Amino acid sequence: MWAGRPHDPAYLCRMPIDTSAHKLRERIKELQCLYAVARIGQHPEMGLEAMLTAVVRTVPQGWQFPDKLRVSLVLDGAEHGRRWNDARTMAAPIVIDHAERGRFTVSYPDDFRPGDDELFLPEEQDLIDRLAAEVATIVERHEQREERAKMEAHLRHNDRLMLLSELTAGIAHELNTPLGNVLGYAELLKTNETDPARREDLQRIIDSAIIGREVVKKLMYFSCEMPSQFRVIDVNELIVGALRLVRRQCEERQVRVETRFAEGLPPVRLDPVQLEQVIINLVLNAITAMPPEGLLRITTHGDAEKVCIDVADNGSGIAPDVLPRIFQPFFTTKPAGEGTGLGLAVVHGIVQGHGGTIAVDSMLGQGTTFHLTFPAAA
């Protein structure tokens, strides 16, 4: 009876119906898979990692044999999901802004045999191409949102800095005159005073006024109220001069200072007073962070286009959660009354004002290095 079955009219009619029904089911599964992945991309609050993980979990539902299928999504070298080691695969590149950033792969194990059915349907290559394009869209939109958020944060930060700069400039001007009067009159009184106890008290007033004046000077540097006087200078000579001004503090803390100056560096066009302030601030910060008998190393190097200064200490280092904030005005980890939080903000402002860059490397318990780079004088 089986020999004649292919000629049975009922059997011949039934065959294309079954095949068509199977193809229809597969197309529906593919469309549902695409729809589900597109829905994942509509939830950016999940974050990119979570979205990619959800995509990997969703994709098998679009293939013929989802229980045996594994999905691997590689983006920028990081893999989400996994593939069979001895796999038979189908893959598509993930292209973002005309650059291949990863690969989308589906695979079956080598020992999987689906009978007479094809392992991969021709339509499934189109499906994986479209899924790779959908993933590229998800990533691109995520990166655009991140870039937009960074720009908005940068604009808000600039607005705050502008307002802060205006406030500090006003405060600095208001404080400068009375501090000058206090310092002048205290020095005048000390000149005519013969009582040792009173002279000591007057010296304390003078020292306090000088500290206050230094704070005002930092405020004026931060608010760009200090006029710049640019000159072509030798960086090595300027650093030597700045170190003389902090020699006493280094000796008090028993800090050893090493200098390694490159010869033949090109001159740079800088305000020597402001660059001296940068070196002094970095040295004083390093001294504070180091134990007695610490090591401070200042190195210069460069080429025909730039001059670099590295200020390195073997102190306590900066915590990773603090590092991004060290250049923010008025941010300090020192106890109340021991720091204004302006030192590094001033350093950052001066370096940028000279067309330079500043970067920092730090590791807890091992020390910190500040890298300054300035363009060589034309």
CB atoms near residue 318 (< 10 Å): 20
Same domain, 173 and 265: no
Same domain, 49 and 104: yes
- Of 179, 201, 222, which residue is a domain's last? 222
Tell me how many domains the chain contains.
3
Same domain, 21 and 137: yes
In a domain, 152, yes or no: no
Whether the CB-CB separation of 96 and 103 falls below 8 Å is answered with no
Same domain, 11 and 115: yes
Q: Which residues contact 301 (CB under 8 A, 6 or more apart)?
A: 262, 265, 308, 310
Give the gyration radius of the chain's Cα atoms: 34
Same domain, 243 and 368: yes
pLDDT at site 165: 60
In a domain, 22, yes or no: yes
Same domain, 371 and 235: yes
Q: Name the phi and psi angles at 78, rounded to 5.
A: -95, 135
Same domain, 197 and 77: no
64: domain CATH number is 3.30.450.40
pLDDT at site 13: 40
Same domain, 51 and 86: yes
In a domain, 363, yes or no: yes
CA–CA dist 153, 37 (Å, integer): 30
In a domain, 356, yes or no: yes
Same domain, 191 and 299: no
pLDDT at site 377: 84
CA–CA dist 228, 220 (Å, integer): 12
Range of the domain at 236: 231-375
In a domain, 318, yes or no: yes
**Which ranges of 41-116 does DSSP label H, i.e. alpha helix?**
48-58
- Of 222, 240, 265, which residue is a domain's last? 222
- Of 98, 126, 147, which residue is a domain's last? 147
Q: Kindly give the confidence (pLDDT) of every residue in the chain, 378 residues in length, as a single tens digit, with 9 standing for 90 and above.
A: 334 444 444 433 434 445 677 778 888 888 888 889 989 988 888 899 999 999 999 999 988 899 999 999 999 999 999 888 766 899 999 999 889 999 999 999 988 888 777 888 888 889 999 999 999 999 999 999 988 888 877 776 666 656 566 666 666 667 777 877 888 888 888 888 888 888 888 888 888 887 777 666 666 665 555 556 788 989 999 999 889 888 888 888 889 999 999 988 999 998 888 888 889 889 988 888 888 888 999 999 989 899 999 999 998 888 888 888 888 766 666 655 455 566 787 788 888 888 899 999 998 888 999 999 999 987
pLDDT at site 6: 43
Please tell me what DSSP assigns to residue 342: -
Same domain, 197 and 325: no
DSSP string computed for 185-209: HHHHHHHH---HHHHHHHHHHHHHH
Residue type, position 73, single letter: L
In a domain, 131, yes or no: yes
341: domain CATH number is 3.30.565.10
Same domain, 201 and 242: no
In a domain, 115, yes or no: yes
Whether the CB-CB separation of 226 and 275 falls below 8 Å is answered with no
pLDDT at site 80: 92
pLDDT at site 140: 92
Same domain, 168 and 53: no
In a domain, 155, yes or no: no
- HSE, CB side, 13 Å, CA atoms: give it for residue 342: 16
